[in-house]
């Protein structure tokens, strides 16, 4: 296992996910934008717009390298050395408020001084929390984690609850999932074992999300539900621009801005001091946007 092997697999993952999303959407097609980073490396940005189910979705691959910016060294408490980072990052914004937003990132990072690790995660952001879907999503994650280490799911679920928390709103971005970072080689776990786990997480994305797309795409909704969708998209934007470390890493390493910000929804609203109606579906969802919910 070396960085070229990892990079090649990530490119294939991007291809496979795009194929499965297009097949499920049955209208939208990904546009590809190849780009180069002046300091080293580049990527393939793929964007789907105005599909039957997906209003805007991005499946990005990148492999960048060069001198590590001082901001990154300071933030990660690393010694000076060149860096290399590769991975796949995905965000899907559906047309229907009955279909959830989803995000996934799987990545590999190494430095010229021998430091290396894997990171990633997958999380679901429903506009309306549906217990059955939340259970299904978390059970898929737990099954995948348990195949590698029974401690992974509870540990990485808690990490996701803490990471995807909009602290200025005192609510989670969605129903969480799993999040992990800086998974290094240890005496008990080899880097190859970490890589096998990351591959399984990446492969889990398309079948899991396509199931949720098929299940919810035809559910009815009206103007009230669209308003709520736009407000929840606003919360998504707040997290990604204010708190997300991946966004900050991309901008701090002079990544391609259009590719970094592909996670933004096509439309989002902010309404001053919006309050949900007691007993409404919206109120139920807000009550469930908290850490520590056992979805299984």
Active site positions, annotated: 103
Please tell me the distance from the alpha carbon of residue 182 to that of residue 119, in angstroms, as a whole number.
Answer: 6
- Measuring CA to CA, how many Å separate 164 from each of 128, 178, 233? 17, 10, 14
- CB 242: neighbour CB atoms within 10 A? 12
Question: CA 252 to CA 123: how far, in whole Å?
Answer: 24
- Please give the C-alpha separations between residue 176 and each of 100, 134, 165, 250, 276, in angstroms, as whole numbers: 12, 9, 9, 22, 22
Query: What is the chain's length?
Result: 296
Q: Which residues does residue 31 pair with via DSSP β-bridges, in sequence order?
A: 47
273: tokens are: 């001091």
Distance CA 214, CA 207 (A): 11
The residues with which 106 forms a beta bridge, in sequence order, are 88, 120
CA distances from 201 to 104, 106, 107, 136, 197 (A): 9, 8, 11, 15, 6
Give the C-alpha separation, 200 to 169, whole Å.
33
How far apart are the C-alpha atoms of 291 and 179, rounded to whole Å?
Answer: 14
Q: How far is CA 150 from CA 7, 107, 137, 142, 146, in A?
A: 28, 22, 17, 8, 5
């Amino acid at each position: 296992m070396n960085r070229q092997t990892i990079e090649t697999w990530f490119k294939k993952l991007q291809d496979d996910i795009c194929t499965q999303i297009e097949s499920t959407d049955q209208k939208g097609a990904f546009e590809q934008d190849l780009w180069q980073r002046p300091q080293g490396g580049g990527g393939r940005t793929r964007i789907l717009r105005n599909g039957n189910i997906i209003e805007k979705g991005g499946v990005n691959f990148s492999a960048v390298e060069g001198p590590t910016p001082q901001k990154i060294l300071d933030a990660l408490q690393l010694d000076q050395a060149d860096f290399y980072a590769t991975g796949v990052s995905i965000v899907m914004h559906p047309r229907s408020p009955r279909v959830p937003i989803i995000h996934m990132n799987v990545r590999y990072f190494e430095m010229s001084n021998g430091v290396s690790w894997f990171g990633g995660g997958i999380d679901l952001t429903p506009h309306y929390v549906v217990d059955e879907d939340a259970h299904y999503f978390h059970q898929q994650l737990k099954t995948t984690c348990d195949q590698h280490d029974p401690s992974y799911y509870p540990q990485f679920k808690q990490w996701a609850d803490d990471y995807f928390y909009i602290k200025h709103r005192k609510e989670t971005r969605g129903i969480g999932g799993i999040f992990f970072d800086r998974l290094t080689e240890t005496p008990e776990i080899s880097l190859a074992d970490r890589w096998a786990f990351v591959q399984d997480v990446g492969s889990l994305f398309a079948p899991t999300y396509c199931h949720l797309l098929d299940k919810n795409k035809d559910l009815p909704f009206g103007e009230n539900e669209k308003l709520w969708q736009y407000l929840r998209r606003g919360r998504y934007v707040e997290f990604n621009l204010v708190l997300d470390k991946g966004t900050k890493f991309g901008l701090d390493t002079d990544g391609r801005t259009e590719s970094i910000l592909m996670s933004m929804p096509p439309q989002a609203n902010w309404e001053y001091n919006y309050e949900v109606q007691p007993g409404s579906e919206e109120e139920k969802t807000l009550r469930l946007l908290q850490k520590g919910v056992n979805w299984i």
